Amino acid sequence: VIVNTDYARFLLLAREIRDLGAAGALLAWDQEVLLPPKGLAARARHRAALAGVVHEKMCAPGYGELVDGLASAGGLDNHAGVGGQAGHAATAVREAKRDRDRAVKIPHALVTELAEAVSLSQQAWQAARARDDWPAFAPHLARLVALKRREAAAVGHEGEPYNALLDEFEPGARVETLAPLLSGLAAEIVPLIAAIGEARARAGDDPGALLRGDFDVVRQEQFSREVLVGMGFDLAAGRLDVSAHPFTSGTGPGDVRLTTRYDPCDLRVGLYATIHEGGHGLYEQGIPAEFEGTPLGDCASLGIHESQSRLWENFVGRSRAFWEHWTPRARELFPERLGRATPETLHRAVNEVRPSLIRIEADEVTYNLHIALRLELERALLAGEIETADLPALWNARLQATLGLTPATNREGVLQDIHWACGLFGYFPTYTLGNLYAAQLREAAAAALGDLDALIARGDTTPLLAWLRARVHARGRLLSADALCREVTGRELETAPFVRYLQGKFGALYGV
């Protein structure tokens, strides 16, 4: 009975913390999508105040005693708990304790200082990127790196300070394991890129030209919405808006907000941003309603989150089967540009492999090299081996070494991504983890469902979504990323499925 009462009180307090966090998420979303420019400074303060309150509630002694008491009492294993399943209650307490133990180590002043610095730095980044003005952004970044180093020191870490930050996004991951995984992957990818480069030079054609040119933005939006609904995204429980940098946010499974960005001269930019964020959005909408407002109403990790977006974007959206289904509609919406397009030509157009400057526009083969570059730089920043002032030169040198390209402007180089401006260090590697998890999940889904391409070509991704819902989305935060991967795919995370996928797909496309 005592456990029951304490558990009920714990759920109320945990829910309050998550509810206030959801309010903060709305303020952040609104800042990117709607906020008038003159409201930015005050918004930074509002977000800092909310972050402060969330931290206060998390650190409140009463909540701590409840969480620690329930965690050590151990009487929860047979308690029905969240969602009415045995074991869920114990997991909810364990995850809440994990969050709280991290939070109490961070000084309150650092939390609000970081929240305000992030909000101001996001604003500075937008202006600096628009004007290609690195010096205007550099002091903000330096301040954020200093604050994040203080956070890492406060949280504590085995191995490098980087691990303290990585752990927030990918619980349990360590950079000492992750970096070799990424280098190993790079070693397998680099020869493939070279072979494709040669094949492309021999062919001398430009398949992507089909989707560059004039594409009416209103019709692009229409197409994006149709594809999104086709994937199973529920627009009565979510929105699709426009922002400078596409992202997924929201305040719960009934309010999942995707943003995209339409390029009036390239159909691929908006469409694939929508499908990518749509994959994230399906995960968020699939988290069980009974987990909402509890510590279980969350993703397993950002790597798992990214596996959902990359799975839909690449394995579904960039498949030949996708265009078997969608070519007629694309021809209807864009008769002048695509009147004679075929699934074959569209498939080739969306799978151009070509080293490029911008990560979010990179093809599937070169994409992870962009991530490896960012991981290397932020790891060195956090370890204090380099300074933010060194970043532009190092960025350009590393990109030249990896992809043979040097950006003409910082706007296309070190200023391209919003992440560092948001204080998100330790986040980028989750993108590559996402690609790897996605490939491994895809093999498992294919083993379970049979010919995925046949389903996709019929426009029927319902079985795929149902499989993902049951195996991934419905678990919320019950399982760690590792455990989920083992349970669903039967194996630890490996690079092999992803490399197999790349070699199969691009080998066929380029005849290499």
For its own copies, the binding residues (CB under 8 A) are 15-16, 19-20, 22-24, 26-27, 30, 34-43, 45-46, 48-50, 52-53, 234-239, 250-252, 254-255, 292-293
Residues 210/352, Cβ–Cβ less than 8 Å: no
Quote the tokens at residue 304.
Answer: 């798992």
Taking the C-alpha atoms of residue 7 and residue 21, their distance in angstroms, rounded to an integer, is: 21
Which residue number, 62 or 156, has a Cβ lying nearer to its own copies?
Answer: 62
Residues 243/223, Cβ–Cβ less than 8 Å: no
CA 502 to chain CA centroid, nearest Å: 20
Taking the C-alpha atoms of residue 175 and residue 115, their distance in angstroms, rounded to an integer, is: 25
| β-pair type (238-242, 255-260) | parallel
Strand order in the sheet with 238-242: 238-242, 255-260, 248-252
Taking the C-alpha atoms of residue 325 and residue 456, their distance in angstroms, rounded to an integer, is: 7
Q: How far is the CB of 298 from its own copies (least distance, A)?
A: 14
Measured CA angle at 119 (ends 118, 122), to 5 deg: 80
Quote the tokens at residue 372.
Answer: 């490896």
Taking the C-alpha atoms of residue 123 and residue 113, their distance in angstroms, rounded to an integer, is: 16
Q: How far is the CB of 45 from its own copies (least distance, A)?
A: 5
Which residue number, 45 or 329, has a Cβ lying nearer to its own copies?
Answer: 45
Q: How far is the CB of 475 from its own copies (least distance, A)?
A: 20
Q: Among candidates 367, 365, 385, 318, which has minimal Cα distance to 346?
A: 318
Torsion of CA 184, 190, 191, 193, to 10 degrees: 140
To which residue do tokens 């558990």 refer? 7
Check 151, 277, 306, 324 and give the catalytic one. Answer: 277
Across 142-173, b (16+ Cβ under 10 Å) vs e yields ebbbebbbebbeebebeebbbbbbbbbbbbeb
Which residue number, 16 or 133, has a Cβ lying nearer to its own copies?
Answer: 16
Measured CA angle at 86 (ends 481, 237), to 5 deg: 60
Q: How far is the CB of 56 from its own copies (least distance, A)?
A: 9
φ, ψ of residue 240 to 5 degrees: the values are -125, 120
Q: Among candidates 475, 480, 491, 372, which has minimal Cα distance to 441?
A: 491
Residues 106/148, Cβ–Cβ less than 8 Å: no
Residues 423/148, Cβ–Cβ less than 8 Å: yes
Q: How far is the CB of 31 from its own copies (least distance, A)?
A: 10
Q: Is 376 known to be catalytic?
A: no
Q: How far is the CB of 265 from its own copies (least distance, A)?
A: 25
Burial class (CB in 10 A: 0-12, 13-18, 19+), 404: exposed
Taking the C-alpha atoms of residue 359 and residue 417, their distance in angstroms, rounded to an integer, is: 8
Residues identified as active-site:
277
